[in-house]
Amino acid sequence: MSTVLEKVNQAIGILNEKDIDVWLTFVRETSSGGDPVLPLIYGHSLTWQSALIITRSGERIAILGHYEADTARHTGAYDQVYATGHHLGRLAHDGAGILGPEWVRYGNTPNYVVEAGHVYTLEPGLFVDGYGYIGIEEDVLVTENGVEFLRQPQERLILL
């Protein structure tokens, strides 16, 4: 049994002993610091914003960056591993045009020219009372005839 699996199992025992429902660890980029518990419940540093969830009933869930999901799977400590997406490049988030409303906070970026070869993220979402914000991200390539999804679009709700 790996040390990470052993420690996660111990955490489940502590949750039961203390009558606590869930231990939720939110992680931001950890290569230059990080939560001191991370080596025990994951085994490595994390590059992407992530969440590690351990429940009293024994559920062990890791929500991680795409390239870190395999590491979580190999520990054997997490039954459910979900990989999140990542940015489509620094320029895309720090100054390129957007497909969005002409709000002050976006400056002139909604008015940039959309051209074939550009890649955009479509991020529709809505707020649901009792649940919070529910959103999805789909990446598309602009072509001469419209757009092409970079992967099969998600068509059903995935409950975590």
Among 112, 55, 105, 101, residue whose Cα is nearest residue 78: 55
72-99 confidence digits (pLDDT tens): 888 999 998 876 644 355 454 555 677 7
Looking at this protein, which amino acid is placed at residue 42?
Y
Give the Cα separation of 143 and 145 in Å (integer): 5
Coil, helix or strand for 95?
A: coil
Token couple for 33: 């610091």
Q: Where are the domains of the chain?
A: 3-84, 90-149
Give the Cα separation of 9 and 3 in Å (integer): 10
Q: What are the residues whose beta carbons fall under 8 Å from the beta carbon of 69, sequence distance 6 or more?
A: 62, 81, 82, 83
Highest CATH level, class, for 3-84:
alpha beta
Q: Which residue has the higher pLDDT, 92 or 20?
A: 20
95-112 confidence digits (pLDDT tens): 567 777 676 766 787 788
User: Quick one: pLDDT band at residue 118, thresholds 50, 70, 90?
Assistant: confident
Token couple for 91: 């320029």
DSSP code string of 41-85: HTSS--SS-EEEEEETTS-EEEEEEGGGHHHHHHHS--SEEEEE-
